[in-house]
Structure 1
């Protein structure tokens, strides 16, 4: 075994080196307690937007004893099939707070600015069970953002895929709003290693905002246009001593690339020419929660403006 890889014996669930079975998954789920309200934080804000947007209920997910979660999208009020169409997604990982609140803030303050120019479809909280529990996974210990695949075992991923399927080829833009947090190293990577019966070691958390482009079609000028606008709001993550961010080569200021479709990531669910995943760092001493929300909004607006100028 590589001496730099350690089995996370400190993780309280499971046997080191052995993947979880149903018992361990049930034990993990029982340990997850709701600490905030999807109804109060998200649904109440959506209700207030019914006059200014089209609110679309696209699915409801029944998570047994934890209840049923209605899933909503918000559409441009002046939707016009002759116009190009953009997709904004947030809350794929429920614990990544500014993805959810940034998406809602964009709708509240800026969506109408694009009426008559581009249709915008916003899905602000893909994973409400995880939002309430400040968790990465769904209740079955499945990561939605590795399961945007055919016959997905993740209900949240499958619901979004089914919803956008009729229009998947119409999108010119998709921006997916995420965060990279200190808990990625302290909780979520160790939990994943324990679940899968593998070793892990800390990857380090970059201090600042960065983007993940799609290796299949990285669109570097598009990514840099987003970075330029976000940099007016918050700082951009530097490369580490290896020239990397979270283990991936930095290809431009604040930008790395992933093979989104191969990895089953949300950013790969459309054939949009312009695709990007934001990564905000909310644990930075140099960023406030509002600044994180503002960074997400700046990224969405920059992406839309670039697509309008170039599509």
Structure 2
């Protein structure tokens, strides 16, 4: 576990103990600057994939001067008698390997599942946040606590509509994430400030881990992914309390959340197999390539297990 330096002074926006209102959200949004390009990093890769996959628009986000088209990539040989596999990345835009791991899977590995499964991949759910390397959307909403039919987050609502037809037919949904040092130094303090509560410092797990579903944990499935990923990068150990990010470790590198209750992406459907990956890109023992490769290894292991 990594001890990360955190804010020792009140968060610079808002009044301690008072939840943000529109003025605070506007002040926070005004401080966010574009730091990379969705068009260059994501759409350019998706354009290359059009020769081998079906690419379709599933939504559009209009945020003042910024507008983003959301794309899904599907198997070209979609057949109703095949199992459906869902892969999502970039729900939190700052979690880089979630986006590039999904794209790398499509470019390098997806073809080997042709005729065995229908693949549906949404590689960058939150492009505004991707460009600003942030967790929230411009309304200071966390998309990954907002996956409900009546979601106020445009990113979450668009993906919900995309995946709703597969709610009962999907076999697998794997959602690709990262846990970063900035979770503790920026995003959790910002969350506490936004909600008007005290910030309680925590620890960042050093390594890869998975978040399964409390209501449908599928331990053998989770372990199959861990076994594949540990060949690529190290697995996060439990802390001295036997926990990872405050949740009990139920198996090496695995914790469980109530996915649907919390409005998490991996809980959108009733898929038999669901999991959320968490890569640690800030580890001195991991490179960006390893992080992307770990995401791809996780996706392939998940599909291989689900297909039997």
Contact 1:7 1:193 in 2 (8 A): no
Aligned residues: 303
Specify the SS of the correspondent of 2:173: strand
Paired position in structure 2 for 1:171:
170
Moved over 2 A (4+): 6-10
1:7 is displaced (CA, Å) by: 9.4
Q: Aligned-pair distance for 1:47?
A: 0.3
* Cα distance in structure 2, aligned partners of 1:104 and 1:159: 19
Asked whether the 8 Å contact 2:232–2:290 carries over to 1, the reply is yes
Residue of structure 2 in register with 1:13 after alignment: 13
| Superposition map of 1:156-235 within 5 A | 156-235=155-234
Alpha-carbon offset, residue 11 of structure 1: 1.1
1:142 aligned to 2:145? no
TM-superposed deviation, 1:201 = 1.6
SS in 2 for 1:51: coil
Contact 1:8 1:199 in 2 (8 A): no
**1:5-64 deviation per Cα after TM superposition (whole angstroms, max 9, x unaligned):** x99743110011100010000000000000000000000000011011110111111011
SS in 2 for 1:102: helix
1:37 paired with 2:37, answer yes
Moved more, 36-45 or 70-79: 70-79
| Cα drift, residue 167 of structure 1 | 2.0
Measure the CA separation in 1 of the matches of 2:8 and 2:148: 29
Report the TM-score, using the length of structure 1 for normalisation: 0.96
Structure 1 partner of 2:28: 28
Structure 2: how far apart are the matches of 1:23 and 1:200?
21
Number of the residue aligned with 1:253: 252
Q: C-alpha offsets along residues 168-201 of structure 1, whole Å, 9 cap, x if unaligned?
A: 2110000000000000000000000000000112
Distance 1:85 1:8 in 2: 47
Task: Say what the alpha-carbon RMSD is for the aligned residues.
Answer: 1.1
Partner Cα distance (1:169, 1:59) in 2: 22
Give the structure 2 partner of residue 3 of structure 1. none
Report if aligned partners of 2:73, 2:122 keep a CA contact under 8 Å in 1.
Answer: yes
User: Structure 1, unaligned stretches of length 5 or more?
Assistant: 1-5
- Gaps spanning 5+ residues in structure 2: where? 1-5
The answer for the alignment partner of 2:304 in structure 1 is 305
Q: Check the 8 A contact 2:85/2:172 in 1, yes or no.
A: yes
- Cα contact 1:182–1:205 (8 A) shared by 2: yes
The alpha-carbon deviation at position 81 of structure 1 amounts to: 1.0
Correspondence 1:232-311 to 2 at 5 A = 232-309=231-308
The answer to whether the Cα contact below 8 Å between 2:10 and 2:16 also exists between their aligned partners in 1 is: no
For 1:132-168, what per-residue CA distance to the aligned partner results, in whole angstroms no more than 9, with x for missing partners?
A: 0000000000000000012101000000001111222
Q: After superposing the two structures, state which structure 1 stretch, 224-233 or 197-206, moved more.
A: 197-206
- CA–CA separation in structure 2 for the residues paired with 1:290 and 1:184: 21
Residues 7, 185 of structure 2: 8 Å contact kept: no
Q: Which moved more, 1:192-201 or 1:6-15?
A: 6-15
Q: Deviations over 1:178-236 (max 9, x none)?
A: 00000000000000000000011221000000000000100000000000000000000
Residue of structure 2 in register with 1:131 after alignment? 130
